[in-house]
Structure 1
Amino acid sequence: MSRTRFAPDRGLTTRMLITMFLIGLLFVAFVGLLLVALRGAWPIVVILAGGLFVAQFWFSDKIAAFSMGAREVSPQEYPELHGTIDRLCALADMPKPRVAVADTDMPNAFATGRNEKNAVVCVTTGLMRRLEPEELEGVLAHELSHVAHRDVAVMTIAGFLGVLAGIITRVGLQFGMFGGFNDRDNRDNDNTAVAAIVVIAVSAIVYAISFLLTRLLSRYRELSADRSAALLTGRPSALASALTKVTGDIAAIPTQDLRKAQPYNAFYFAPALSAREVAANAFSTHPSLEQRLEQLGKISAELGKS
């Protein structure tokens, strides 16, 4: 993490290190198995893994912004939005990211980009229309915390193995692992089929494990961003109010619009789900509203004592 005035979070750092270490072990074992099982096809493994990683890591900001219909805006277009981000960046002693707006009624915000130089903080028009200035400040501080902690880069790297494993599983099931099930010599066919089945099975297991690890890390990073934002602004109650408003209003969004937004839940300030769905989903990218409000209540009490 770069030097900023966001409150350090040792718990976040520890969980990041543990998760990245475990995913790193999985990645080494998984790629090793692919190289052994596919033998002559190892160049495909290297190209596939390398290409996916570069695309996901290097262009994550552009892909996310394009997918969500966000456009970069100038201070002249949105002076209050830029002014709030300017103040928060000065308070946190961090570089100012690019600022974008998505024209949608979905009340939400997200941060993306592999580092501070490429970071983008985006808010929707629906969010700005619903929140009071101090509530919006809390949401923006939350997103800037993600930038300062490099959460987007960490989660992109952490989620890469799951993406790779999922793709290999689907390719293996649909196409017989790069044509390995085509009729050739029976003995070669049998060996290839066994190797393909092993790779598909291991890919599925690796995908499941990495999925659980990254979701666990994602939920904690959201709690950490809430904590950092509340301490930076000194107004945890404003962030709590924003969370309550956003979560409640998201539940009122038409189901069709929610489903379109759900693939990007990991990026959002609040997921495109009702509060009940988040609480009932053990695999959610975000902690429940109750967990987030409880933490903010404790921070408010601590600040009141100091």
Structure 2
Amino acid sequence: MAQTRYAPDRGLTRRMVFTMFLIGLLYVAFMGVLIALLGKAWPLILLFTGGMFIAQFWFSDRIAAYSMGAREVTPEQAPELHGAIDRLCALADMPKPRVAIADSDVPNAFATGRNQKKALVCATTGLLRRLEPEELDGVLAHELSHVAHRDVAVMTFASFLGVLAGSLTRMALWSGMMRGGGRNNNTAILALIIPLVSVVVYVISFLLTRLLSRYRELSADRGAALLTGRPSALAAALTKITGQMSQIPTRDLRQAEPFNAFFFAPAVSGQSFSKLLSSHPTLEQRLDQLSRISRDLGRP
């Protein structure tokens, strides 16, 4: 992690390294199976996967911002948001990221970018309208913690394998049919085995990234609370955002749900999600941690 005043989190570092190691092994195994099944098509597979990874990693900030409708804003266009980020970056002794606003009534925020120099922090109009200044500081400090710990880049890499599994399934089936000259016994076997392998790879990578995502959210909460010294403000923001999700139109929530892993709080529509599948820890877990930090700091 680059030197900032955010408290180092060795637990997060260990988990990121271990998750990356497991996903790397999974990737190598997946590629080995595909190469063994598709034979001479392996150079095309490597070229495709390499290009896909570079594009996703290099342009992750632009892809995420475009997908979520974020537009960069200047200090003149959003003085309060820029002012808050300026104060927090000075407090954390870290470079200021680009600042954006997404026109959405869903109260949320996210950070993206492969490193601190390419980072972007975005808040929705719904968030800016609902939170008090101290609460907004807590949310923005949480997002800056993601940037400082580089876990945005790690999550981008970790989620790549799941995307790759689906893409390679289609590519492998097409390649197998072209190589086989049409439908035959070998093509039929490939059509069965490759999707099955891809599903297994997707499920494993999905569960690993969800496990890491839940811990990184707790780590960002902890980092934000210690940096600002106001864990109660972050707790208030969490409670307010989660409580008001039920007031957001279902259509808006459905549009936001695919990006839950990026957001400060999950966009849920009143449904109960399994802890195993959730990208975020429960509200109770987050508030309990913030309560313990408050006691340690001797603040209400």
TM-score, normalising length: structure 1: 0.92
Q: Distance in 2 between matches of 1:68 and 1:78?
A: 18
- C-alpha offsets along residues 227-284 of structure 1, whole Å, 9 cap, x if unaligned? 0000000000000000011111112111111101111111110111157635x45301
Which of residues 275, 287, 296 in structure 2 aligns to 1:293? 287
Q: How far has the Cα of 1:60 moved from its partner?
A: 1.0
Which of residues 223, 231, 239 in structure 2 aligns to 1:236? 231
Q: How far has the Cα of 1:52 moved from its partner?
A: 1.5
2:203 aligned with 1:208, yes or no?
yes
Equivalence for 2:104: 104
The amino acid of 1:253's aligned partner reads: I
Q: Distance in 1 between matches of 2:70 and 2:11?
A: 32
Q: Distance in 1 between matches of 2:209 and 2:166?
A: 14
Q: Percent identity?
A: 69
Q: Which secondary structure state, in structure 1, belongs to the residue aligned with residue 266 of structure 2?
A: coil
Q: Which secondary structure state, in structure 2, belongs to the residue aligned with residue 116 of structure 1?
A: coil
Q: Which secondary structure state, in structure 2, belongs to the residue aligned with residue 71 of structure 1?
A: strand
The amino acid of 1:272's aligned partner reads: A
Residues 300 and 185 of structure 1, relative CA distance in 2, 3 Å threshold: closer
- Which deviates more, 43-52 or 253-262? 43-52
Given that 2:207 and 2:276 are in contact with CA atoms closer than 8 Å, whether structure 1 keeps it comes out as: no
2:69 aligned with 1:74, yes or no?
no
Given that 1:75 and 1:82 are in contact with CA atoms closer than 8 Å, whether structure 2 keeps it comes out as: yes
Given that 2:161 and 2:205 are in contact with CA atoms closer than 8 Å, whether structure 1 keeps it comes out as: yes
Equivalence for 2:277: 283
Given that 2:176 and 2:187 are in contact with CA atoms closer than 8 Å, whether structure 1 keeps it comes out as: no
Number of aligned residues? 299
Equivalence for 1:246: 241
Given that 1:223 and 1:292 are in contact with CA atoms closer than 8 Å, whether structure 2 keeps it comes out as: yes
Q: Distance in 2 between matches of 1:252 and 1:44?
A: 49
Q: Distance in 1 between matches of 2:187 and 2:271?
A: 47
Q: Distance in 2 between matches of 1:96 and 1:34?
A: 43
Q: How far has the Cα of 1:109 moved from its partner?
A: 0.4
Instruction: Return 5+ residue gaps in structure 2 as ranges.
Output: none
Q: Which secondary structure state, in structure 2, belongs to the residue aligned with residue 118 of structure 1?
A: coil
Given that 2:180 and 2:186 are in contact with CA atoms closer than 8 Å, whether structure 1 keeps it comes out as: no
Q: Distance in 2 between matches of 1:68 and 1:299?
A: 32
Instruction: Return 5+ residue gaps in structure 1 as ranges.
Output: none
4+ residue runs over 6 A deviation: none
- Which deviates more, 285-294 or 42-51? 42-51
Equivalence for 1:180: 177
Equivalence for 2:7: 7
The amino acid of 2:225's aligned partner reads: A
The amino acid of 1:153's aligned partner reads: A
Q: Distance in 2 between matches of 1:262 and 1:192?
A: 37
TM-score, normalising length: structure 2: 0.94
Given that 2:19 and 2:208 are in contact with CA atoms closer than 8 Å, whether structure 1 keeps it comes out as: yes
Equivalence for 1:303: 297
- C-alpha offsets along residues 13-56 of structure 1, whole Å, 9 cap, x if unaligned? 11111100000111111111111111121122112211221121
The amino acid of 2:292's aligned partner reads: K
The amino acid of 2:123's aligned partner reads: V
- C-alpha offsets along residues 83-119 of structure 1, whole Å, 9 cap, x if unaligned? 1111111111110000001122111100011111110
Given that 1:247 and 1:275 are in contact with CA atoms closer than 8 Å, whether structure 2 keeps it comes out as: no
The amino acid of 2:201's aligned partner reads: V
Given that 2:108 and 2:124 are in contact with CA atoms closer than 8 Å, whether structure 1 keeps it comes out as: yes
Residues 126 and 193 of structure 1, relative CA distance in 2, 3 Å threshold: same
The amino acid of 1:244's aligned partner reads: T
2:88 aligned with 1:91, yes or no?
no
Q: Which secondary structure state, in structure 1, belongs to the residue aligned with residue 272 of structure 2?
A: helix
Which of residues 261, 264, 285 in structure 2 aligns to 1:266? 261
Equivalence for 1:167: 167
2:147 aligned with 1:152, yes or no?
no
Given that 2:180 and 2:187 are in contact with CA atoms closer than 8 Å, whether structure 1 keeps it comes out as: no
Q: Distance in 1 between matches of 2:70 and 2:22?
A: 34
